[in-house]
Amino acid sequence: MTFIWPMLLLTLILVPLLLGAYLWLLRRRKKMAVSYANLALVKQAMKKGPSWRRHVPPALMLVALALMLFASARPVAIVQLPSNKQVIMLAMDVSGSMRATDVEPTRIVAAQNAAKAFLKDLPRHVRVGIVAFAGTAQVAQLPTLSREDLVTAIDRFQLQRGTATGNGIVLALATLFPDDGIDIGQMTWGKPQTKAKSLDDAAKEKKDVAPVAPGSYTSAAIIMLTDGQRTTGVDPMEAAKMAADRGVRVYTVGVGTTSGETIGFEGWSMRVRLDEDTLKQIANRTAAEYFYAGTAADLKKVYNTLSTRLALEKKETEISGIFALIAAVFAMFSGGLSLAWFGRVM
């Protein structure tokens, strides 16, 4: 905890001074009582109620004063608050492997349903964009507050050949940082893996990006849902490095099973398995988390967990109002007890 006006903490010295003054008044009152000629009247007056009661209201008022003086220094702490400027990019796999039925009814349908449930539970002030990727990546919906537009974009998904997981991440970054000079045009279908470096270098040639701590950018996050089996495009680890250098977390959600399934697609037959290792590496590189979704129910549960986590962000916030409120409560209790017990505000 830090303070905006730390010098005002010196005013807390008034608290022990007031406590000393109160104790001095009590002693002075006892000495005056001894000087009375009729000690019977003094004893009778002191039997009107428990002696501890008369100390409770002043004690509460002293605590209230200490809290108000503490609040005057304007304390600042790191707390979790709802984000009012957050953007979430959903990078969703629409490759042919998503037609596999190891997640009922199919991987793609389960992913679409889970994404819609995620949008429903997400706070309305969070903007969401969608990137769909297969052999190439494209922006299905720019970041928006309209949940209807997002649902429409999700329903329009059409499965295509290839899986360029790295392209999905890079295009999401280009949408989040349009001024960074990330050349989306270089992400053509079938580029060799080594082109990932030239893509990052080309972006930095236009605008130097000073690397920051991974996960330090709290205004945006990427959620990538895929089976993780990259077949073409940008190296996903190079794409993860680009995200990490900008502080953007890439949460990965693995849909499907590690045993996989053999599917037929446009005359081709292939075995599609969940590549958990790559998805875990992407999440770890960007200080995010990997989630396994083996069934449709697991997938929905993962998205519900993410919506809760991504709705909050940690930031420095002045909390003097909290201490002032507690001080007011103590002051009210002090006055209320004084009226109830003694018929007056002490």
* pLDDT computed for residue 43 by the predictor: 55
* pLDDT computed for residue 196 by the predictor: 44
Largest alpha-carbon pair distance within the chain?
115
Distance between CA atoms of 287 and 275, rounded to whole angstroms? 19
- Dihedral sign for Cα 214, 146, 143, 171, please: positive
Q: What are the φ/ψ torsions at residue 293 (nearest 5 degrees)?
A: -125, 90
* pLDDT computed for residue 192 by the predictor: 42
* pLDDT computed for residue 230 by the predictor: 84
Cβ within 8 Å of residue 55, ≥6 positions away = none
Radius of gyration of the chain (CA): 32
Q: Residue 126: name the closest of 169, 86, 95, 186 by CA.
A: 86
Count CA within 13 A, CB hemisphere, residue 233. Answer: 30
Put simply, whether the predicted model's pTM sits higher than 0.85 gets the answer no
Determine whether 264 is exposed, middle or buried from the number of CB atoms within 10 Å of its CB (0-12, 13-18, 19+): exposed
- Dihedral sign for Cα 255, 256, 257, 259, please: negative
Tokens of 10: 């010196």
* pLDDT computed for residue 189 by the predictor: 42
Per-residue pLDDT of the chain (346 residues; tens, 9 = 90+): 888 888 888 888 888 888 888 788 877 776 665 555 555 555 555 555 457 777 788 888 889 889 998 888 888 887 766 555 678 999 999 988 888 888 888 889 988 988 898 888 787 888 899 999 998 899 999 999 999 999 999 999 999 888 899 999 999 999 999 888 787 565 444 444 444 444 555 444 445 678 899 988 878 899 999 987 788 888 899 999 999 999 999 999 988 776 656 665 556 666 667 888 999 999 999 999 998 887 767 777 777 777 666 655 666 778 888 888 998 898 888 888 777 777 766 6
Using alpha carbons, list the distances in angstroms from residue 277 to 128, 164, 236.
27, 16, 12
* pLDDT computed for residue 188 by the predictor: 42
* pLDDT computed for residue 147 by the predictor: 93
What angle in degrees, to the nearest 10, is found between the helix axes of 320-342 and 56-72?
160
251 touches 288 (CB < 8 A): yes
* pLDDT computed for residue 314 by the predictor: 65
Query: Strands 87-93, 220-226: parallel, antiparallel or unpaired by DSSP?
Result: parallel
Distance between CA atoms of 144 and 206, rounded to whole angstroms? 27
* pLDDT computed for residue 85 by the predictor: 60
